[in-house]
């Protein structure tokens, strides 16, 4: 998030998929992704911690499910949007957020994501080579290469359409 945004220096490669959108027309692609494994961890922890706190009169233990609820609100549901401005990934409460401007996108493509192998787990992660990931599940995701060789991976359904639209918008932004 603290990186200085740099404009991409090369055109979007012709080998990447793109969409044909009539000049002057606007397009947007929006999906939501939910971290089900993290939600289960929160539920199990709450179910176990609540009764233990009551039975042992250790009321401070109730801070654990409360902290998990706050964490869950900020990290378990993400909205992914691609439009003329670029790629925007934000949590359900609006923060944290990652924005990759269309002007800095060098290319995007759909790919298969393996959370444990590539990122060491689920959530907002840093993977091999400094790749940033919003990894909520195993499976389809969009990988965006942007200025300076930085990479962002987001697991989301219909990543192929998102990547094609982002390539189109990046090409238009040049």
Q: What is the pLDDT of residue 12?
A: 87
Asked if the model's pLDDT at residue 41 lies above 80, the reply is: no
Q: pTM of this prediction? A: 0.82
Q: What is the pLDDT of residue 86?
A: 97
Q: Mean pLDDT in the chain? A: 89
- Residue 139 pLDDT grade (very low, low, confident, very high; cuts 50, 70, 90): very high
Asked if the model's pLDDT at residue 34 lies above 80, the reply is: yes
Q: What is the pLDDT of residue 109?
A: 97
Asked if the model's pLDDT at residue 38 lies above 70, the reply is: no
> For 13-37, what is the mean pLDDT?
89
Helix (H, G, I), strand (E, B) or coil at 53: helix
- Residue 70 pLDDT grade (very low, low, confident, very high; cuts 50, 70, 90): confident
Number of helical (H) and strand (E) elements in the chain, helices listed first = 3, 9
Asked if the model's pLDDT at residue 125 lies above 70, the reply is: yes
Q: Which residues contact 122 (CB under 8 A, 6 or more apart)?
A: 35, 37, 38, 115, 135, 136, 137
């Amino acid at each position: 998030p603290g990186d200085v945004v740099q404009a991409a220096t090369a055109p979007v490669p012709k080998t990447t998929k793109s969409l044909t959108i009539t000049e002057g027309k606007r397009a947007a692609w929006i999906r939501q992704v939910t971290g089900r494994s993290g939600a289960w961890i929160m539920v199990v922890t709450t179910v176990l911690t609540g009764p233990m706190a009551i039975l042992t009169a250790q009321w401070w233990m109730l801070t654990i499910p409360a902290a998990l609820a706050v964490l869950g609100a900020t990290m378990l549901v993400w909205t992914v949007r691609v439009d003329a401005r670029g790629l925007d990934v934000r949590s359900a409460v609006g923060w944290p957020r990652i924005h990759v401007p269309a002007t800095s996108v060098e290319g995007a493509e759909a790919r298969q994501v393996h959370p444990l192998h590539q990122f060491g787990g689920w959530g907002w992660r840093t993977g091999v080579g400094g790749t940033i990931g919003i990894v909520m599940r195993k499976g389809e995701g969009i990988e965006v290469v942007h200025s300076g060789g930085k990479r962002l991976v987001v697991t989301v359904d219909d990543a192929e359409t998102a990547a094609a639209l982002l390539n189109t918008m990046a090409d238009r932004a040049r």
